[in-house]
A and B are shown apart, each in its own frame.
Chain A
Amino acid sequence: MTAAHPVARTVGLAKAFGAHQVLAGVTLELSEGRCTFVAGPSGTGKSVLVRHLVGLLKPDAGEVWYKDLRVDVLDEEALLGLRRRCVYVFQHPTLFDSMTVTENVALVVKYHKGVKAAAAEGLARAQLDRMGLSRLAESRPPELPAGEQKLVSLARALALEPETLILDEPTTGLDPYAAFEIDAHVRRLKELGVTLLVISHDLQSIRRLADEVVFLFDRKVRYEGGVDGFFHSADPVLDQFVHARVEGEI
């Protein structure tokens, strides 16, 4: 699939950890302003793939591009600029336990936007307010349930007003209500035109939100296309994944 306006793309991406080959020749393009879901069985390298997009991992072979930037050759200093525009939200909330929720959000704003601590705190509070999280402002992350921690993590990312947001399994491990709340925020971002890349095997979220789906299997892209094609594919691997069958290649 060739995106009309690719915001990010990988070309022949390969990555191994020791003898374990995780990705082998992955080529894909992400369209601007669209919501793309990356799905696949656990351990197929979904997180590894997207970590390359923000320069957290360097590929063994291949290229990674974000618009006109060749990401895989950038140094840490140059990557900071990219990471202001393309924000990655980890699977685990990765909030700093010794800080309050406001301080967690403000820290990122302060460093990324280069504003004073008081101004950063003001922006952080405004972001929490926009997401209906003001009641959590003075709490510390360990005091919060998983769903609220993920929401705070999302608030921290959105405080940077990114043009592209990468969400790594945002609804995994959450109760249906918390998952729905996260999805509602993602839907709002989609309406605002933010380019979204979501790693998930939550089929309900894919149905609700995805414009495009990329399915990874056996170190490669197995499917890349629309949501209907994903759910109604004749490919036995996709069929097994979508219908959660025990028998099959997965």
Chain B
Amino acid sequence: MALLITIGQMLSLSLWALVRMRLGGREMLRQVYETGNRSLLFVGITMAFIGMIGVYELASTMEAVLPEYSTLGAATLQGLTREMGPIMAGLLLATRVGTGMAAEIGSMQVSDQVDAMKLSSVDPVELLVLPRLFATSVASLGLAAVGTTIAFFSGMCVAWLGFSILPDTFMSLRFVVTADLVMGICKALVFGFTVPLVSCACGFLATGGSEGVGRATTRAVVLSSFIVIVEDALITYIGEVLS
């Protein structure tokens, strides 16, 4: 319950700060660099393997059932755009970035730095949460796009080398429609908003020294990953109903 209240407060304070255009431009750019650029290698390598594994499994199934590969590339790209790109970006951000946020804010909370901000008229949500919210949303979108591209090309390599599917055949956009793109973008933005919101709330609720910070970090990664998956199911369902 305390977590829900904290998330609600953070959300309303963030929106209020947004209305007043108090975005903290320099800090936001720093956070975009921290969450986006610094996650590129991690997301890139992970998505390369996801692409290779996904295409290998899909091609093996097609080989047994059809056997015909002309739709492999198009199906892969559609799945990556709608599903795997955004959700993997969300989950990887929860692991790499969310934990860092929970640990940093948790440490500040248990060492009275957050109270010191309040005493200094500095709104901790405006200074700590808002830049992270928007930076992570931007980063999530970018990472989903880059991750999808890398996974698609790594999958193409597996298709070519393992199943002799020519890149020209694999590289097909015919299944991907505007609705897939919109769904992918929506998911990336929502996950990019959820991860810092939940992680920062866990940090603010940390109590009891370094042990409390450890608990907050674990809670942040578990909860934000879980919520990302639930949101993914909801957005997919809503998308299907609307289309």
Contact = CB atoms under 8 A, between A and B. Distances in A.
Nearest to A160: B120
A92 B121 contact: no
Interface stretch (A26-34, A104-112, A226-234): A104-112
Interface stretch (B111-119, B172-180, B213-221): B111-119
Contact of B113 (A80, A94, A111): A94
Contacts of B111: 92, 94
A88 B119 contact: yes
A92 B118 contact: no
Given A92-B111, A94-B111, A107 B116 contact: no
Interface residues of A, number: 19
B62 interface: no
Interface string B111-135: 1110110111110000000000000
A98 B143 CA distance: 26
A199 B42 CA distance: 49
A225 B231 CA distance: 62
Given A54-B119, A107-B120, 13 more contacts: A56-B115, A56-B119, A80-B121, A83-B118, A83-B120, A91-B112, A92-B112, A94-B113, A94-B115, A108-B121, A111-B120, A112-B120, A156-B120
Complex A-B, nearest 7 residue pairs according to Cβ-Cβ distance, in ascending order: A94-B116, A108-B120, A111-B121, A112-B121, A90-B112, A111-B122, A94-B113
25 contacts: A54-B119, A56-B115, A56-B118, A80-B121, A83-B118, A83-B120, A83-B121, A87-B119, A88-B119, A90-B115, A90-B116, A91-B112, A92-B111, A92-B112, A94-B111, A94-B112, A107-B120, A107-B122, A108-B120, A108-B121, A108-B122, A111-B120, A111-B122, A112-B121, A156-B120
